[in-house]
Structure formats: C-alpha cells, structure tokens
Structure 1
Amino acid sequence: MTKDYLVKALAYGGFVRAYAVSATETVAEAQRRHDTWNTASAALGRTIVGGLLLGSTLKGDDTITVKVQGNGPAGLIMVDSNGRGEVKGYIQNPNVSLPLNEKGKIDVRGAVGTEGVFTVIKDLGLKEPFSGQTPIVSGELGEDFTYYLAVSEQVPSAVGLSVLVDTDDSIRSAGGFMLQIMPGASEEVIDKIEARLANLPLVSSLLDQGKTPEDILDTIFDGESLMILDTMPVEFKCDCSKEKFGNAILTLGTKEIQDMIDEDHGAEAVCSFCNNKYYFDEADLEEIKAEITGGN
C-alpha cells in the first residue's frame, strides 16, 4: 500500500497556494476502527480529508478541530488534525447507508443534512483558541469547507474532497485538494482555475487510477509551472491513553468512583476518536481515588 501523503505547492507566480493529499489508508483506518457503512464512510472520510488539508496550514503541534453538526442521520462528525499530518475523527452514527443520489453517487448530503453548523476551532498555542462558525450550505462538505474559508477566514478557496467506497464498505481511494487565491491574483487566473475545476474528474477516481497528489495538481493546473514547497506523510493517529482516561475519572470525585467500585467492580473507557478501550479494575480505581483523598 502506497503511503498517504500531502503536497504543498505554489502556482501562477505565487498567487495560488495549492494543496493535494492522498489519504486512502488514513480514511480506511477510520472506517475499520468505527465500522462505518458506506454513506457514513464517505461523510467521515471527506471530513478527515478536509481536516488534513486545513491542518497542513498549521505548524507542528498546533491543532485544528472540525465539527459538522447537520440535521441528517449521520449526526455529529468531529475531526482533529495537526500540522504534522496526524488526524483522528469519528461520526456519531457510523451505521448510515443511504440509496445513491440522483447522480448515482453516494448521498453524503443526505447523511449530513442541509441545515446545521460547520465549526472550526484552531488551537495555535495561544491563550484562547480561534473559533469560526458558518452554516452548512451544502452538506456535500467540499462546498462547506470552501464556504467556511471564504466567510470566516476571508480566503477565496476551492476545496475538493472525494472518497470512493467499495461494495464491501472498504475504502478504495480517498483524497482531495485545496486551492487558495492570494490577494492580487488576476481575474484571468481565477477564470482559468474555475474552468479547470468544472471539468476535473473526481480526485478519488484519479487516485484509484494510481495518480499521485502531484499528478492531481498537474491535472488542475494543466501545464502551468508548479513550485512544490513540501511533501509530508499523513496518517490516522490518536493520542489517547489509559493515563488520560484515568485523569478524566479523577475529575468525577470520590463518591462516583466508589460507586464504580461497589456496583460495577471496575470501569471501561472507550475513546470516541479511535474506539480503543481501556479497562480499570478495582485496584486501578482505588489508586485513582487515593490520589484525590491523599491516601486517606
């Protein structure tokens, strides 16, 4: 399996920033962990690809959280990514499988819904995280990322997100691109890009044919010279741990922890993002309780 990676580039003399990512194995890992059905896989997968693209604009440990809360059966979709190409995510209802839409494609809009809120929270290591919120305008998600960038960050952009789900619900290919128009770009450049995007095949189809992120950018810019700035690996990676869940149990207080010991004889914590399970037996819980009471 080819390793997933993301490419950052400049085009049209620096007036267009371009990003493209192949994320097939990353989205496949999310599908396996959450056992998502085909429509849920596409919705979660597109959000993960969009999260990777937005995350790639950050530095190292800075993080970005994308929350899609629509009125469709998928419920909340939440994705965290950082500047190192690491991403994790989940969908509230993984078991969504809808009939194909009128174009014969997976009905992501039907799963997400057409009304709701699209939220991006950036933690740049400052005192307060930056939070931007826009209404869901499409439910197809690519347009929703595009609208968020235009309205909340005032960056005219085009975002394409694509996930190809196989008949057995596994992920055949997944990836996307993000173009950002810099101040001073001419109308001619913008018109050229719009014309190319109107005829662009699905990114997942290009990846399924063996194309790379560089090939995708070459297809979009059609002979224009590209300056590749950086390539970086991307992967599904969760930073949960038994210690972190232990700290969360600590905040419940002694009475609730004692109830877990007396009634359940232990506790199981499940990470929403990656489905890893952590078991705390009675001795573990007594130890946590002793931290609160100072051993008394």
Structure 2
Amino acid sequence: MGRILRGLAGGGQLRVVAADTGDVVEEARRRHGLSPTATAALGRAMTGALLLAQLLLKTPKERITLRIEGTGPLGGLVAEADAAGNVRGYVRNPRAEVPLREDGKLNVGELLGAGVLRVDRSLPNGEVYTSTVPLVSGEIAEDLAHYLWQSEQIPSAVLLGVRVKGEGEVEVAGGGPNPTLRPVPG
C-alpha cells in the first residue's frame, strides 16, 4: 500500500521526500464514506502527515498528528503517521461538500474555512511537543509549508494532491516537500 521515496540533491543540501498515497486515500474514502472534497482534504492531510513523519521523526516509536480546526463545513480533520509509513485519519463531517473553485478544482480551502493547524509530535517517553499555526489558505500544502517555516525553521515547498473521478473514487494521490534546504555543516 503506497510508497515513500527519499533522496538528496544539490550535493546533499536538498532533501527530497515524496509519497504515492493513492491506494491509502481511496481506502480512507471508502471506509469513511467521504464526499469528493472531503476526500481531497483528508488525503492531503494524511499524505502531509506521512511526509512530516519522514522529515521530523527520529525513532520508530514517535508519531506526528495533524489537527486542523476550521470554520468551514468540514469542521476539522485529524491525520496521524509514524516513520514506518503507517497513517490514519478522519474528518468531523465526512459528507461535507462545497462548490468547485472558479478553475473547476475541488475547493478544500473553503471546505476547511479559517482556522488553525496543530502539529503534535509524540515522543517515545510519552511527552508531546505541540506547535500551532494559523491556516494560511486551507489548501493544506501551503499550510504545512508555513508550519515548517514558522515552527521548524525549515524552508520548504510542499506539494500535495488528490485527484478524484466518477463518484469520488481516488484516481491518484501523493505529494512531497520539495525541496527542503539544509545547510551543510562545516
């Protein structure tokens, strides 16, 4: 189910992590009975949680939990992942839906509305490190890039996408922080 790719570029100064999560997101859509836009929102959040787990976690016993609380009809969502590639998530209102954007794309930002992104990092000793940032757009990738810059001081471009077809089935899903600039020591 799914796969995660990791690599370095630029002489080791750029770290790239990508995830193919189409089957995982389709399973979540089916289990939760999600609307197309709720599928996109949860799929982006689950993919983002997997990517953050790959970037930030240091041991197999740690996990990352993304919580988005918004004023939109979705009401909020939760996605949790670990460094082994396990992920799960749910939304508060799975059948919530909004009209498409003017460009014909799913409007995840409107579905979430204004609000906050909270990232919990659960450590092996039971401690939880929490960081909260305001939602920049509700489109999730931009919000995660904002979190990485504000809370982790990691400049990043985060790309997340979920394409649905027919009755809302997931055709493809995935993403990646690309690139993450890391100074070379010395």
Q: Give the letter for the 1:111 counterpart.
A: L
From the CA coordinates, give the structure whose radius of gyration is larger: 1
- Does residue 139 (structure 1) correspond to residue 138 (structure 2)? The answer is yes
Q: Per the alignment, in what secondary structure is the counterpart of residue 126 of structure 1? A: coil
The Cα shift of 1:126 comes to 3.0
The Cα shift of 1:122 comes to 0.4
Q: Give the letter for the 1:147 counterpart.
A: H
Q: Give the letter for the 1:167 counterpart.
A: G
Distance 1:71 1:182 in 2: 35
Under a length normalisation based on structure 1, what TM-score does the superposition of the two structures give? 0.60
The answer to which of 94-103 and 37-46 deviates more is: 94-103
- In structure 1, stretches of 5+ residues that fail to align are 185-296
Distance 2:96 2:152 in 1: 32
The Cα shift of 1:183 comes to 2.4
Q: Per the alignment, in what secondary structure is the counterpart of residue 85 of structure 1? A: coil
- Does residue 56 (structure 1) correspond to residue 45 (structure 2)? The answer is no
The equivalent residue for 2:150 is 151
The Cα shift of 1:160 comes to 0.6
- Does residue 70 (structure 1) correspond to residue 65 (structure 2)? The answer is no
Distance 1:73 1:43 in 2: 12
Q: What CA deviation, in whole Å up to 9, does each residue of 1:227-278 have, x standing for no partner?
A: xxxxxxxxxxxxxxxxxxxxxxxxxxxxxxxxxxxxxxxxxxxxxxxxxxxx
Residue identity over aligned pairs, in percent, reads 39
Q: Report if the CA contact (8 A) 1:81-1:88 is conserved.
A: yes
Q: Per the alignment, in what secondary structure is the counterpart of residue 29 of structure 1? A: helix
Distance 2:132 2:125 in 1: 19
Q: Report if the CA contact (8 A) 1:34-1:90 is conserved.
A: yes
The equivalent residue for 2:165 is 166
Find the partner of 1:6 among 4, 7, 20: 4
Q: Report if the CA contact (8 A) 1:61-1:84 is conserved.
A: no
Q: How many residues align?
A: 181
Greater share of strand residues, 1 or 2?
A: 2
- In structure 2, stretches of 5+ residues that fail to align are none
The equivalent residue for 2:125 is 126
Distance 2:6 2:75 in 1: 32
Distance 1:162 1:83 in 2: 21
Q: Per the alignment, in what secondary structure is the counterpart of residue 56 of structure 1? A: helix
The equivalent residue for 2:17 is 19
Q: Per the alignment, in what secondary structure is the counterpart of residue 127 of structure 2? A: coil
The answer to which of 50-59 and 154-163 deviates more is: 50-59
Greater relative contact order (CA < 8 Å, ≥ 6 in sequence): 2
Q: Per the alignment, in what secondary structure is the counterpart of residue 4 of structure 2? A: strand
Q: 5 Å matches for 1:104-253?
A: 104-113=104-113, 115-179=114-178, 180-183=180-183
RMSD: 1.1
